[in-house]
């Protein structure tokens, strides 16, 4: 499809087929026009491909950030707690008898961090986990802001019925966000899991290598060794391959029977300009590569070119994650 | 005496002697200081419908081309010939034939200004083929036929039968034939008195309704003679007609016949007509949900000939699944409905079917931009008639061209429905109707990768729903005081929905039966007793997120990705028997209806008892007061009470209905009504916070109150019809009363003001023009105040603000319908244009958000939709 993303096509289809009038189009998720999180990378110390720590192990945690232009410093905080039972809505911590959330470890926080914020979590011993009532997972709740974190109020406000907005940042206009994810522990029936890896990327059939160092400026990219594209070009095909071991096999309940199944890898594709054909694509039993088109912008490119940043994040659905960044020099 | 110029009709000479001329002959002298009085315009009668004289062939051969019998007629205010005699005849046989034929003529009555009046005219009846004045339009007419029988079922011959209009004008007079039958054809729609005079007996009077384009067949049965010891007393005849029982509900709003199909904005869909009635909220996006007096869509029910309909609309609201031209009418009960109906706390919509045509075969083909349909009907024998109809959508013919190429079209959206209705009257007491009807909707797309901002929205997206019902209805006039009805319906319902690995697949084999007996105990007391049983074997599988509260669930905007899924496989039987008893006490001018209903809800093993009372009082012939109170109960939704994904210890949901009002027939054909209502709800099913076991609990409360104003203008001449309805109401819910922070919130579809004005005018030359204006408060909505990034699934989970704490802007819309008919002797062609949202108002129905819920844009309702169609009718 040449001139519209799937989302826009379906929106248009809904307008015609379902006879629903639509307002203005919203930015697609694939448009990277602000600093935002793209995932949380877990890596067990001493076993860097593993995402699931056992008791007494240390987990390296990295908040992966993506930026619309140059990398901006961010502030963050994170806590880990025993998750409350829930099947709908926003996950939250379970509470103890005093009404306090059952935390595991302390508060992890930092200000003005350039690059992806990273910290470690020491997993308690088996006995301590049992005492806290941990089964096989911990809930991570946190937040990041481009300015300062206001406090944990943003998170506390989740349960305030009268709240009119929930923003963890001191500046209400801050593009910060509240984060959550789950850390699966190697205890009980939990199975091992490793982070997947991206084997290769091609752009219009050619290898698309990582960014040369020292060239990371917003404009003026002409002749700096980046793959080039011109505004108004036809869609350009990006092909992403995962390493052979990325799709792990694990046991899952299928019709109440424990059955070996292979992971399905979900790939998120983001670009700072133009349109990705789809935000989410998959590598599964039917397709062994991701094949997604990028439609360059049609106007507004400076004479010396514009650097367009791409983020590709691969997830295995079980906590494993890989991320690569690429750039294209867009010429008028 | 005023004589007007004869009408310029080619084959007849007509002069008019106006009965009302006396009033005009001596006008009051004009005062010098006043302008002279305006003389009224007198319009003579004009022939609308003629009839040929029936003559033996040999007489026809001998007739001169200009053979004319000069008659003197009285044309009544309804256009019927009430008296006729010969002034200048040709021969006894020809005179008699002319008199017989003239009785079947229909005139546009004489008028003083616009008011119809009776007129005496002279009419030259020509035996040549008469021609009809092409000027005024033919209003739709109806027929009353019937038979008078003795208590031993023997036909009563030579009884005089008169049909008298509301203003006491004798419209027609006949004598029953040897088989006791009588017939009045070509009657303008309206209410009439049928007066039966039998020698040595008091005349009997029955009120009957003539419906446009319909034949009403009646049986008047004389009662048994009094016991021997009373033989010396004067014999008093009683009779029973096969007519509707007296009203049981204080509020019944009906729309019948052609009006159902010509209301602007419904695209000719009869069931959509209910949306113009007071008490009915506007569903969003033109969906087919029935939202009655602040109750959730699932709290109301639609019945088709007494039996619950599994599916009402194609694709949730596109078009109703039963051809509108097979329907007789709809009766809508917004509250305080009869004990005949149970298992619902909202309102009831009863859809009634007309009998197939008995006079001759008829056919109809209708084509519009979205579908094509046909109807064929007619008599097979004298007592057995049949109607067949089918419809198929045309959307799939263009769908492939619209869908983006990398979305595989597995099955383009297709719907079809079909009906086969038969009616058999083996004898005057019985009527057996066998109905077969069904519907199918199917739609499937294959989306390899996810679309939008939800990675879980991928795979094959498909929707299939179909049902096939077989329904037997047996009406029997047991005796002069007792009627009974047995209806049995069974048939499969299949529903499938899938989106990738998520989906629902269910087969329901609904069996529904109703037995009802209506007895006139004495002059004042009528009793209704009955039972309806709902039995449904259910097989279903469900694989998807835990289902939440169906009403008051907030923005419901969360992505599917990351939501915990539940897997359910069920094979069970739902059993819901119900029993009801209702007593109608007529103590003129008061009428009391006391009802009770007992229901058993098998899936939760609970009984409910619902007492109900209605009181109606006629202050005058035109002014009626009414009040009612009653209790209503319904079971939880199936998913709420199922132990796998719900709580099978739930209890029934209850509501009390209180209502009071007044109806005033302030002018013939014009009625206005005002009614107030209050409905508390308790034991509502609400979701447990966090969606954890047992998932649902009783305890939610509700309160609904408001008033409804309705006006209906529908003069007997059918020149125009108008409806005005205004509802002022508030509907609120309290979900967790025991939570100290709980607050009352608005109901999902609370609409403070609902104003609907609909008017259709029948113009000359078979044009009709109508419009419907709706002004409605916007629906409440739940703001999204933030979001949480779910790093595991790369989606944002929305955070809702207070449920339904904001409201969409005011909704307003104009719908227009224009129709032109060409009518020939045996064929009718119609062209129609139905424009919804004529001025293309962008009415906001809600908000949609971007991936992280930081941006939003409004999502609007239907844009301007012109629907053009053509219909041919034999």
Q: Which of A129, A153, A184 is the last residue of a domain?
A: A184
User: pLDDT (tens digit, 9 = 90+) per residue, A26-82?
Assistant: 888 899 999 999 999 999 999 999 999 999 999 999 999 999 887 888 999 999 999
Kindly indicate the confidence band of residue B106, based on its pLDDT and cuts at 50, 70 and 90.
confident
| A227 and B CB contact within 8 Å | no
CA distance A63 to chain B (A): 9
Q: Write down the mean pLDDT value for chain B.
A: 82
Q: How far apart are CA B95 and CA B222, in angstroms?
A: 36
| Whether residue A213 is found in the same domain as residue A105 | no
Q: Please answer yes or no on whether A1 and B845 come within 8 Å at the CB atom.
A: no
A11 inside domain: no
CA nearest to B803, candidates B590, B556, B453: B556
Q: If phi over 0 gives left and psi between -120 and 50 gives alpha, with beta otherwise, what is residue A12?
A: alpha
Task: Give the number of domains in chain A.
Answer: 2
User: pLDDT (tens digit, 9 = 90+) per residue, B237-266?
Assistant: 333 333 344 455 666 777 766 777 778 878
Q: How far apart are CA B751 and CA B748, in angstroms?
A: 9
Residue A274 has pLDDT above 90, yes or no: yes
Neighbours of B50 (CB within 10 A): 19
User: Residues B79, B81, B82, CA angle at the centre, nearest 5°?
Assistant: 115
Q: Which residues does B489 contact at the CB level (< 8 Å), separation at least 6?
A: B307, B469, B470, B471, B472, B510, B511, B512, B513
Residue-level pLDDT at A50: 96
Instruction: For residue A219, say if its preceding peptide bond is cis, omega within 30 degrees of 0.
Output: no
Task: Name the residue range of residue A229's domain.
Answer: 198-331
Q: How far apart are CA B837 and CA B492, in angstroms?
A: 37
User: pLDDT (tens digit, 9 = 90+) per residue, B638-660?
Assistant: 889 988 889 999 999 999 999 99
Best interface-test mutation with A: which of B455, B557, B803 has the largest number of A CBs within 10 A? B455
Give the dihedral sign, CA B274/B313/B369/B497: positive
A8 inside domain: no
**Partner residue facing B860 (CB), from A1, A6, A23:** A23
CA nearest to B610, candidates B633, B592, B594: B633
Best interface-test mutation with B: which of A15, A88, A159, A320 has the largest number of B CBs within 10 A? A88
A119 inside domain: yes
Most confidently predicted of B83-92, B135-144, B377-386: B377-386
User: Between these two residues, A219 and B605, which has the higher pLDDT value?
Assistant: B605
Residue-level pLDDT at B97: 85
| Whether residue A172 is found in the same domain as residue A92 | yes
| Whether residue A176 is found in the same domain as residue A273 | no
Contacts with A281 from chain B: Cβ below 8 Å: 449-450
**Partner residue facing B789 (CB), from A26, A37, A164:** A37
| Whether residue A160 is found in the same domain as residue A216 | no
**Partner residue facing A37 (CB), from B406, B564, B791:** B791
User: pLDDT (tens digit, 9 = 90+) per residue, B811-838?
Assistant: 999 999 999 988 887 788 999 998 989 9
| Whether residue A165 is found in the same domain as residue A210 | no
pTM: 0.77
Q: Please answer yes or no on whether A86 and B691 come within 8 Å at the CB atom.
A: yes
Report residue A129 as tokens.
Answer: 């986990």
Q: Which of B82-96, B194-208, B420-434 has the lowest mean pLDDT?
A: B194-208
Kindly indicate the confidence band of residue A323, based on its pLDDT and cuts at 50, 70 and 90.
very high
Give the dihedral sign, CA B263/B265/B266/B268: positive
Residue-level pLDDT at B21: 29
Kindly indicate the confidence band of residue B150, based on its pLDDT and cuts at 50, 70 and 90.
confident
Q: Please answer yes or no on whether B791 and A158 come within 8 Å at the CB atom.
A: no
**Partner residue facing A88 (CB), from B548, B849, B862:** B548
Residue-level pLDDT at B91: 83
A305 inside domain: yes
- CA torsion, points B434, B435, B436, B438, in degrees to nearest 10? -170
| Whether residue A289 is found in the same domain as residue A170 | no
| Whether residue A232 is found in the same domain as residue A178 | no
For residue B100, give the 3-state DSSP assignment: helix
Contacts with B409 from chain A: Cβ below 8 Å: none
Which residue of chain B has the CA closest to A255? B567
What percent of chain A has a predicted confidence (pLDDT) above 90?
A: 61
| Whether residue A178 is found in the same domain as residue A242 | no
Q: Which of B66-75, B370-379, B602-611 has the lowest mean pLDDT?
A: B66-75
User: pLDDT (tens digit, 9 = 90+) per residue, B701-718?
Assistant: 999 999 999 998 887 666
- As a whole number, mean pLDDT of residues B121-148 equals 64
Residue-level pLDDT at B784: 93
Contacts with A85 from chain B: Cβ below 8 Å: 690, 692
Helix residue ranges per DSSP H, B251-342: 258-261
The ranges assigned to domains in chain B are 3-126, 142-230, 257-333, 348-873
Say whether domain B3-126 belongs to CATH 3.30.70.260: no
ipTM score of complex? 0.94
| Whether residue A234 is found in the same domain as residue A152 | no
Residue-level pLDDT at A40: 97
A301 inside domain: yes
Which residue of chain A has the CA closest to B554? A89
| Whether residue A107 is found in the same domain as residue A164 | yes
- As a whole number, mean pLDDT of residues B756-764 equals 90
Q: Which residues does B693 contact at the CB level (< 8 Å), separation at least 6?
A: none
A57 inside domain: yes
A255 inside domain: yes
Q: For the domain bounded by B142-230, which CATH number is listed?
A: 2.60.40.10
Cβ pair B16, B3 in contact under 8 A: yes
CATH of the domain at A42: 2.60.40
Contacts with B546 from chain A: Cβ below 8 Å: 87-88
DSSP B714-755: --TT-SEEEEEEEEEEEEEEES-TTSTT---EE-TT--SEEE
Most confidently predicted of A153-162, B445-454, B469-478: B469-478
Q: For the domain bounded by B348-873, which CATH number is listed?
A: 2.40.170.20
A164 inside domain: yes
Q: Which residues does B5 contact at the CB level (< 8 Å), separation at least 6?
A: none
Best interface-test mutation with B: which of A89, A138, A184 has the largest number of B CBs within 10 A? A89
Residue A122 has pLDDT above 50, yes or no: yes
Question: Tokens 């009285």 map to which residue?
Answer: B74
Contacts with A40 from chain B: Cβ below 8 Å: 791-792
| Whether residue A203 is found in the same domain as residue A146 | no
């Amino acid at each position: 499809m040449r001139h519209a993303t799937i989302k826009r096509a379906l929106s248009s289809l809904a307008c015609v087929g379902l006879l629903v009038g639509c307002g203005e189009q919203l930015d697609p998720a694939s448009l990277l026009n602000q600093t935002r999180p793209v995932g949380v990378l877990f890596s067990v110390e001493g076993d860097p491909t593993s995402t699931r720590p056992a008791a007494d192990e240390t987990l390296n945690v990295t908040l992966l950030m993506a930026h619309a232009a140059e990398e901006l410093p961010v502030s963050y905080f994170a806590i880990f707690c025993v998750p409350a039972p829930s099947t709908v809505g926003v996950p939250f911590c379970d509470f103890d008898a005093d009404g306090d959330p059952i935390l595991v470890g302390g508060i992890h926080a930092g200000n003005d961090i350039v690059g992806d914020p990273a910290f470690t979590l020491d997993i308690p011993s088996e006995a301590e986990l049992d005492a806290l009532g941990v089964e096989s997972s911990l809930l991570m709740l946190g937040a990041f802001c481009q300015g300062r974190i206001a406090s944990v109020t943003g998170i506390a406000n989740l349960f305030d019925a009268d709240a009119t907005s929930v923003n963890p940042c001191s500046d209400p206009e801050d593009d910060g966000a509240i984060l959550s994810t789950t850390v699966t522990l190697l205890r009980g029936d939990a199975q091992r899991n490793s982070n997947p890896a991206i084997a290769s990327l091609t752009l219009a059939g050619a290898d698309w290598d990582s960014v040369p160092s020292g060239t990371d400026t917003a404009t003026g990219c002409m002749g700096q060794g980046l793959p080039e594209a011109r505004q108004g070009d036809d869609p350009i095909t990006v092909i992403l391959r995962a390493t052979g071991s990325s799709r792990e096999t694990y046991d899952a309940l299928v019709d109440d029977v424990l059955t070996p199944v292979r992971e399905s890898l979900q790939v998120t594709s983001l670009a700072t300009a133009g349109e990705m054909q789809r935000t989410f694509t998959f590598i599964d039993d039917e397709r062994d590569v991701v094949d997604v088109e990028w439609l360059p912008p049609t106007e507004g490119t400076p004479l010396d070119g514009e650097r367009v940043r791409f983020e590709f994040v691969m997830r295995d659905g079980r906590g494993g994650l890989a991320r690569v960044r690429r750039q294209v020099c867009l010429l008028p | 005496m005023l004589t007007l110029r004869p009408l310029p009709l080619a084959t007849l000479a007509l002069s008019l002697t106006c009965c009302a001329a006396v009033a005009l002959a001596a006008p009051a002298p004009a005062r010098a200081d006043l302008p002279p009085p305006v003389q009224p315009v007198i319009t003579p009668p004009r022939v609308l419908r003629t009839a040929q004289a029936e003559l033996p062939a040999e007489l026809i051969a001998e007739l001169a081309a200009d053979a004319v019998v000069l008659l003197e007629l009285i044309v009544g205010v309804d256009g019927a010939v009430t008296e006729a005699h010969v002034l200048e005849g040709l021969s006894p046989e020809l005179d008699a034939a002319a008199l017989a034929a003239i009785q079947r003529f229909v005139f546009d009555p004489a008028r003083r200004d616009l008011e119809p009046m009776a007129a005496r005219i002279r009419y030259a009846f020509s035996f040549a083929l008469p021609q009809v004045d092409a000027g005024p339009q033919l209003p739709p007419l109806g027929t009353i036929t019937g038979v008078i029988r003795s208590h031993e079922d023997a036909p009563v011959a030579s009884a005089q039968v008169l049909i008298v209009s509301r203003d006491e004008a004798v419209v027609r007079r006949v004598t029953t034939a040897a088989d006791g039958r009588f017939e009045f054809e070509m009657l303008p729609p309206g209410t009439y008195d049928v007066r039966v005079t039998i020698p040595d007996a008091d005349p009997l009077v029955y009120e009957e309704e003539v419906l446009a384009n319909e034949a009403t067949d009646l049986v008047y049965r004389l009662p048994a003679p009094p016991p021997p010891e009373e033989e010396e007393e004067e014999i008093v005849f009683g009779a029973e007609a096969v007519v509707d029982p007296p009203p049981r509900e204080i509020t019944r709003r009906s729309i019948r016949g052609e009006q159902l199909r010509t209301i602007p904005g419904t695209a000719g869909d009869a069931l959509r007509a209910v949306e113009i009635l007071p008490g009915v909220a506007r569903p969003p996006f033109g969906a087919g949900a029935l939202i009655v007096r602040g109750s959730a869509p699932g709290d109301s029910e639609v019945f088709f000939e007494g039996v619950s309909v599994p599916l009402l609309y194609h694709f949730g609201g596109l078009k109703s699944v039963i051809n509108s031209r097979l329907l007789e009418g709809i009766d809508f009960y917004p509250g305080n409905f009869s004990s005949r109906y149970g298992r619902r706390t909202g309102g009831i919509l009863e859809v009634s079917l007309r009998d197939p045509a008995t006079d001759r075969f008829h056919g109809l083909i209708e084509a519009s931009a979205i579908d094509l349909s046909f109807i064929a009907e007619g008599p097979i024998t004298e007592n057995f008639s049949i109607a067949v109809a089918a419809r198929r959508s045309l959307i799939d013919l263009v769908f492939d061209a619209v869908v983006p190429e990398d979305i595989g079209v597995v099955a383009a959206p297709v719907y079809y429905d079909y009906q086969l209705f038969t009616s058999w009257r083996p004898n005057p007491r019985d009527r057996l109707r066998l109905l077969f009807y069904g519907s199918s909707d199917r739609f499937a797309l294959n989306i390899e990768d996810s679309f939008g901002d939800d990675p879980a929205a991928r795979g094959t997206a498909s929707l299939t729903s179909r049902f096939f019902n077989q329904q037997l209805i047996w009406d029997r006039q047991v005796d002069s005081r007792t009627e009974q009805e047995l209806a049995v319906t069974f048939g499969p319902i299949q529903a499938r929905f899938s989106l990738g690995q998520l989906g629902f697949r269910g087969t329901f084999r609904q069996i529904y039966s109703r037995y009802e007996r209506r007895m006139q105990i004495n002059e004042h007391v009528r009793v209704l007793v009955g039972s309806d049983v709902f039995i449904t074997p259910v097989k279903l599988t469900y694989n998807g997120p835990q289902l939440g509260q169906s009403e008051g669930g907030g923005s419901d905007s969360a992505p599917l990705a990351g939501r915990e899924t539940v897997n359910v496989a069920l094979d069970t039987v739902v059993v819901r028997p119900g029993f009801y008893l209702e007593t109608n006490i007529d103590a003129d001018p008061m009428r009391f209806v006391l009802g009770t209903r007992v229901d058993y809800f098998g899936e939760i093993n609970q009984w409910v008892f619902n007492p109900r009372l209605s009181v109606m009082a006629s202050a005058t012939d035109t002014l009626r007061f009414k009040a009612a109170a009653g209790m209503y109960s319904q079971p939880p939704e199936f998913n709420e009470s199922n132990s796998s994904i719900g709580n099978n210890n739930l209890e029934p949901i209850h509501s009390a209905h209180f209502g009071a009002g007044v109806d005033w027939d302030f002018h013939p054909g014009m009625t206005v009504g005002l009614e107030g209502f209050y409905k508390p709800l308790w034991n509502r099913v609400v979701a447990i916070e966090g969606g954890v076991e047992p998932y649902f609990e009783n305890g939610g409360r509700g309160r609904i109150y408001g008033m409804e104003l309705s006006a209906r203008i529908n003069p007997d001449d059918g020149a125009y019809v108008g409806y005005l309805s205004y509802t002022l109401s508030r509907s609120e819910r309290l979900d967790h009363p025991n939570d100290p922070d709980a607050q009352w919130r608005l109901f999902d579809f609370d609409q403070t003001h609902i104003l609907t004005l609909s008017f259709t005018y029948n113009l000359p030359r078979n044009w009709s023009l109508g419009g419907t204006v709706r002004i409605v408060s916007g629906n409440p909505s739940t703001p999204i105040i933030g979001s949480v990034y779910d790093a595991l699934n790369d989606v944002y989970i929305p955070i809702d603000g207070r449920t339904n704490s904001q409201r969409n802007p005011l909704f307003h819309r104009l719908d227009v319908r224009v129709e032109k008919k060409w009518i020939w002797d045996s064929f009718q062609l119609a062209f129609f244009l139905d424009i919804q949202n004529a001025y293309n108002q962008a009415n906001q129905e809600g908000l949609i958000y971007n991936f992280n819920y930081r941006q939003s844009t409004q999502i609007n309702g239907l844009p301007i939709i012109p629907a053009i169609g053509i219909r041919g009718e034999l």
